[in-house]
Structure 1
Amino acid sequence: MRARRILTWTGFGLILAGLAMLGWVAWEFYGTTWVSHRHREQALSRLEQGWRGGHGSVRTSWGEADAIVRIPRFGSSYAVPVLEGTSAAVLATGYGHFTGTAGPGQVGNYALAAHRITHGEPLRRMPDLRSGDEVIVQTRTRTYTYRLTNAGSALVVPMTATWVTTPLPRNPTGGIEPAQQPGQRLITLTTCSELFHTDNRMVAFGVLVASAPR
């Protein structure tokens, strides 16, 4: 009888552990994205309000926001804020701007990172991007249009490959890289290459092709 009770409670424990695991998975895949979408909308609203008030950037609960990324390939409603840095809070809200890299439209490399899965998934469809696709970056005063020079899944690098965020990225393996012309105004998008672990990064480079008052 005692052994049966032990087996029964062990079975209950395993069931509860399984339910807890399922709940955690559901939260990671759906809950974090739901929360991130709410944070994203709040950040976009704060940014638009700040711009109307003459402020180039605004402080949000998740970081300093100063731009909006639009990618026509992802649909007309796609709009994701850019926040400074690449902390967990920043990447759970939108794009993170690698501190120390160029700003929108500037000479150098405007380097951005975003999640591909969970936490809003701004670059879930990174593999759908094609060479020639536009990436539009809006600031308070200007709209910058970049054109991608490689497809979203064409370049995969280790997460330790810091060369992709340098002012003029040079591929040490001799593979995909921006044209090696000093003075380029570049954008770099980075995200996880695999859906369920983060050993590597997909990287897409783009070059500024237009700049207009907003």
Structure 2
Amino acid sequence: MTSAPSVPAGPPPAAGRAGDAGGPDGPAGRPPRRRRALRIAGIAFLVAGVGILLWIAWQLWVTTWLSQRHQAEIIGSLEQGWSQGQQEVRVDVGTGIGILRVPRFGADYEVPVLAGTSDDVLAAGVGHQDGTAMPGERGNMVLAGHVITHGEPFRHLKDLRVGDEVDLQTAQGTYHYVIDTPGDALTVDFSAGWVLDPRPVNPDPAGVDPTDDPRLLTLLTCAELFHTDLRTVVFGHQTGFDPAG
């Protein structure tokens, strides 16, 4: 029997071309490269922005909160050591010298004063500049502290006025000082070593100088809230001493 002729097969369907609408690699399947690159860049900027905000929050608030807790612990250690007759109290960041109180900064203001000005010391309180006079000694006692972050103990240094009181409690007793120059009267470069001298003399004849008292106090901090090479300097002198009872 004669078989029926077969129907000739038609041409195979054309393969889709990259970029054709509706094809697997077309716009319906994946975005163009430029759009994808912009999306990735946007995500990267967003992540970087969040990271910067978190870093700022850490520096401004978290370090201050942690430092203030640490400062309170150090003050407790100093007071306990002194009550036990210790003349020199060692804490986790070095040697404690005293407790600084400045009524202008608030009735509850008190910050530990520690030997040296290392980063660890300044994160835990106010630092006593090596080589300068100790409390009660003749010469110039220099104290440095942060204006912002890490407890910001000298945040309001520029608010000091002539006649303001500063008290430094130590194992031996409390030394009393008075401020001689306004807090905003003197700004110097960080390299101005003359402010550390036993008898500071301003190289600017029209500039601010301390008094002629033999027992001076110098307070230092950054002149601006963020990184700067300028320092705010305030001078004072000792007015009295109350022995520990």
CA drift at 1:56? 2.0
Q: Unmatched 5+ residue regions in structure 2?
A: 1-30
Alpha carbon RMSD of aligned pairs, Å?
Answer: 1.1
Which position in structure 1 is the counterpart of 2:100?
69
CA drift at 1:143? 0.8
1:210 matched to 2:215? The reply is no
Which position in structure 2 is the counterpart of 1:129?
160
Structure with larger Rg: 2
How far apart, CA to CA, are the structure 1 residues paired with 2:49 and 2:175? 49
Q: Unmatched 5+ residue regions in structure 1?
A: none
Task: Indicate which of 60, 68, 83 corresponds to 2:91.
Answer: 60
The structure 1 segments of at least 4 consecutive aligned residues displaced by more than 3 Å after TM superposition are none
CA drift at 1:69? 0.6
1:200 matched to 2:230? The reply is yes
Q: Secondary structure at the match of 1:6?
A: helix
Matches within 5 A, 1:6-155: 6-155=37-186
TM-score for both structures, normalised by structure 2: 0.84
Q: Secondary structure at the match of 1:92?
A: helix
Which position in structure 1 is the counterpart of 2:12?
none
8 A Cα contact 2:90 2:96, kept in partner:
yes
How far apart, CA to CA, are the structure 1 residues paired with 2:202 and 2:212? 10
Which position in structure 2 is the counterpart of 1:178?
210
For 1:104, the aligned partner's letter is P
CA deviation vs aligned residue, 1:162-189 (integer Å, no higher than 9, x gap): 11111111111121112345xx011110
8 A Cα contact 1:170 1:180, kept in partner:
no
For 1:9, the aligned partner's letter is I
Identity %: 50
Which position in structure 1 is the counterpart of 2:23?
none
How far apart, CA to CA, are the structure 2 residues paired with 1:213 and 1:28? 39
1:160 matched to 2:194? The reply is no
CA deviation vs aligned residue, 1:17-39 (integer Å, no higher than 9, x gap): 11001111111111111111111
How far apart, CA to CA, are the structure 1 residues paired with 2:146 and 2:58? 16
CA drift at 1:119? 0.8
How far apart, CA to CA, are the structure 1 residues paired with 2:178 and 2:114? 21
Q: Which has the higher contact order (CA 8 A, sep 6+)?
A: 1
8 A Cα contact 2:211 2:237, kept in partner:
no
